[in-house]
Structure 1
Amino acid sequence: MPVPAPNLYPDFNTVRLSHVAYRVTDLARSRAFYVDTLGLQVTGETADTLYLRAMEERGHHCVALHQAPEAGVEALGFKVWHEDDLDRAHGWFSARGRPVDWVDRPHQGRTLRTSDLFGVPLEFYARMDRLPPIHQQYKLYHGVKPLRIDHFNTFSPDVDASVAFWTDMGFRTTEYTEDEDTGQLWAAWMHRKGGVHDMAFTNGLGPRLHHTAFWVPTPLNIIDLLDLMATTGWVANIERGPGRHGISNAFFLYIRDPDGHRIEIYCSDYQTCDPDLEPIKWDLKDPQRQTLWGAPAPRSWFEEGSHFIGLTPAESRLKASPIIAP
């Protein structure tokens, strides 16, 4: 199935991804991972919640960690251009039979809670508490020196259907993997902010969250993080990498937090602002699509993901398989 043409004039204007809300089972242990090891900055704290931001971000948080008996993902957050876009988004999702509700979220203005066609929980807002800049407070930089949240990747049971839905929302496809035998999409990368992706979809049992990614200054920061993790008790949390993706051309590392939530550390992809930029097609059997160089991805990378709270994933429609490390 061909990638649908971009919708350059969507009903509402999404600026970018914004934040993720995780449930974690040990908030102190998660703080040791995200703050002490990765280097995210604490912007708010209660007895059961921790709010974090990266060094270039002005919004109050890009990660919310909520203490809970079981781990999971509560929502993926997105920022829209204006308050009016929230009302238009409410009408757009409602017209497609998706649940819509106005919810209260700390540090955010009016927030729309809804979901995509497979139930991925989404929250949209126009205003978040604005914090003073810290990008030149170099004494605060540590860990992998995270600069900003970059993208989400979710498992989808039908990537073609996910891409069609998100294209109608105004997300543009930059690269995609097609199974040559069936003509179906195995994966796709879609953006709003001008990078390779804000949102990506990987074929598999879903929907589940595959990973959240953070942009860092250089590949050397990733090497520094590996040294740090290997000597501070986190070596077993290194899952895949370092290496360079064929798709996106990015330098990457995949790690797991204490509850198994997958985090990608990411840099060096390319600009995609032009609205007429045609997407790049990859063959599923091309070994360089996932790894331009480096070891192939392990089986866990294709099979394990974080569950969305209250959502039961479904088997994928496409049964094709990429190259998996032995």
Structure 2
Amino acid sequence: MNFNIIRAARAVLNVTNLEESRRFYVHALGFIETESDDKHIYLRGLEEHTHHSLVLKKSDEPSVEAISYKVFAEEDLDTLSAFFTEKGYRIKWMGSGSQKAIGRTLRVQDVSGLPLEFFATMDPVDRLLQRYDLYKGAKVQRIDHFNCAVTDVEKAYNFYINELGFACSEYTTADDEKIWAAWLHRKPTVHDVAFMNGVGPRLHHVGFWLSDPMSVIHTCDVLASLGYGSSIERGPGRHGLSNAFFLYLRDPDGHRIELYNGDYLTSDPDFKPVKWDLDDPMRQTFWGHAAPDCWFNEASTVLDIHTGQAVETGDPKLEKKKPTIII
């Protein structure tokens, strides 16, 4: 089957306090608040032409309801539904009236237990790319990727490459040549999703694209001036993998987001994936500074699409060395 999956498109995060989340995402980071009610805040970046790319949903506990991909047409949803059903996965349809601003969606727990969502249509909004009077904080432009911790990266890799039609841009191998981490894409950049070897399934972070590296530096100054200095978890820095300039932040509920700029084009059909050795210190951070332990050990709980309960996690049989990766 051919699945016309376009790109990573939105995340639905459960948060415990909408006002605290608004202060962080809107007032500090500069996301555009498209709409809100007493249970949701719908956010987007300045260049995005659709209603939202991030939903903050009021809940008793922080968690991840869905990570979502846009497909080309409604027919692609039906093709995906038939595929997952044939493979024995339990799917869940959500009608166009059940969620704000988005058409019918297909949800399914993927091969690793992550709550995937696919949709074709979302209400259009004015693109604010040249509304420079609205630029503040990080000046977030658009959603870029998801990064997920799973217990078996090779299984996830094979499923997304061989079944869903993703391509690999970069990957890390251990001494036994087993894939330790992989960066996979549908749009012609380094990744729409990355998988790391670790306790999972969990969402490690959602990445958002910024217009330039100085926006990352400016974000640090803004966060510090607003009292959010402790929200800066890692960076600024440059990854060896992807070559991207990065900053990792934790929101008021502990969800991790990455502010990201500077990767490269992967559209050529003869593009060859870049292989990294697990022991190469320039892989994680090109400049050499180490990530904090929390960056390796902490991630967001994901929910079962049918029960709404937390998905049980597993712990892979790791080597004694500390696991390293991600962007």
Q: Normalising TM by the smaller chain, what interval?
A: over 0.9
1:243 and 2:237 matched: yes
How far apart are 1:320 and its partner, in Å?
Answer: 5.5
What is residue 176 of structure 1 aligned with on the other side? 171
Helix, strand or coil at the partner of 2:300: coil
Do the aligned partners of 2:107 and 2:116 also contact (CA within 8 Å) in 1? yes
What is residue 4 of structure 1 aligned with on the other side? none
What code does the residue aligned with 1:156 have?
A: V
Do the aligned partners of 1:158 and 1:318 also contact (CA within 8 Å) in 2? no
What code does the residue aligned with 2:311 have?
A: L
Q: 1:156 aligns with which of 144, 147, 150?
A: 150
What code does the residue aligned with 2:2 have?
A: D
What is residue 311 of structure 1 aligned with on the other side? 311
Helix, strand or coil at the partner of 1:28: helix
- Once residues 164 and 317 of structure 2 are traced to their aligned partners in structure 1, the CA distance between those partners, rounded to angstroms, is 23
Structure 2 segments unaligned to the other structure (5+ residues): 304-309
- Once residues 294 and 129 of structure 1 are traced to their aligned partners in structure 2, the CA distance between those partners, rounded to angstroms, is 43
What is residue 253 of structure 2 aligned with on the other side? 259
What is residue 71 of structure 2 aligned with on the other side? 80
Post-superposition, which runs of at least 4 consecutive aligned residues in structure 1 deviate over 2 A?
A: 317-324
How far apart are 1:298 and its partner, in Å?
Answer: 1.1
TM-score, normalization: structure 2? 0.94
Q: 2:192 aligns with which of 187, 195, 198?
A: 198
User: Aligned in 2, Cα 1:222/1:129: closer, same or farther, shift over 3 Å?
Assistant: same
Helix, strand or coil at the partner of 2:271: coil
What is residue 307 of structure 2 aligned with on the other side? none
Helix, strand or coil at the partner of 1:173: strand
What is residue 187 of structure 1 aligned with on the other side? 181
Q: 1:274 aligns with which of 256, 268, 273?
A: 268
What is residue 11 of structure 2 aligned with on the other side? 20
Do the aligned partners of 1:25 and 1:69 also contact (CA within 8 Å) in 2? yes
What code does the residue aligned with 2:5 have?
A: T
How far apart are 1:82 and its partner, in Å?
Answer: 0.8
Give CA deviations for 1:61-113 in whole Å, capped at 9, x if unaligned. 00000111100000001100111100000011112221112113221112111
What code does the residue aligned with 1:313 have?
A: T
Q: 2:100 aligns with which of 90, 103, 106?
A: 106
Q: 1:226 aligns with which of 214, 220, 230?
A: 220
Do the aligned partners of 2:197 and 2:323 also contact (CA within 8 Å) in 1? no
Structure 1 segments unaligned to the other structure (5+ residues): 1-9
What code does the residue aligned with 1:314 have?
A: G
- Once residues 138 and 174 of structure 1 are traced to their aligned partners in structure 2, the CA distance between those partners, rounded to angstroms, is 33
1:51 and 2:42 matched: yes
Which stretch has the larger CA shift, 309-318 or 216-225?
Answer: 309-318
How far apart are 1:136 and its partner, in Å?
Answer: 1.0
- Once residues 212 and 320 of structure 1 are traced to their aligned partners in structure 2, the CA distance between those partners, rounded to angstroms, is 28
Helix, strand or coil at the partner of 1:107: coil
How far apart are 1:323 and its partner, in Å?
Answer: 7.1
What code does the residue aligned with 2:62 have?
A: A
- Once residues 164 and 42 of structure 2 are traced to their aligned partners in structure 1, the CA distance between those partners, rounded to angstroms, is 28
What is residue 56 of structure 2 aligned with on the other side? 65
How far apart are 1:322 and its partner, in Å?
Answer: 4.5
- Once residues 233 and 57 of structure 2 are traced to their aligned partners in structure 1, the CA distance between those partners, rounded to angstroms, is 24
- Once residues 294 and 321 of structure 2 are traced to their aligned partners in structure 1, the CA distance between those partners, rounded to angstroms, is 14
Do the aligned partners of 1:53 and 1:63 also contact (CA within 8 Å) in 2? yes
How far apart are 1:294 and its partner, in Å?
Answer: 4.6
- Once residues 179 and 62 of structure 1 are traced to their aligned partners in structure 2, the CA distance between those partners, rounded to angstroms, is 35
What code does the residue aligned with 1:177 have?
A: T
What is residue 296 of structure 1 aligned with on the other side? 290
Helix, strand or coil at the partner of 1:188: strand
Q: 2:88 aligns with which of 86, 94, 97?
A: 97
1:143 and 2:137 matched: yes
Give CA deviations for 1:167-224 in whole Å, capped at 9, x if unaligned. 12011010000002x2211110000011100000011000100000111011111111
What is residue 128 of structure 1 aligned with on the other side? 122
Percent identity between the two aligned chains? 47
How far apart are 1:275 and its partner, in Å?
Answer: 2.4
- Once residues 262 and 18 of structure 1 are traced to their aligned partners in structure 2, the CA distance between those partners, rounded to angstroms, is 17
Do the aligned partners of 1:179 and 1:320 also contact (CA within 8 Å) in 2? no
- Once residues 223 and 289 of structure 2 are traced to their aligned partners in structure 1, the CA distance between those partners, rounded to angstroms, is 19
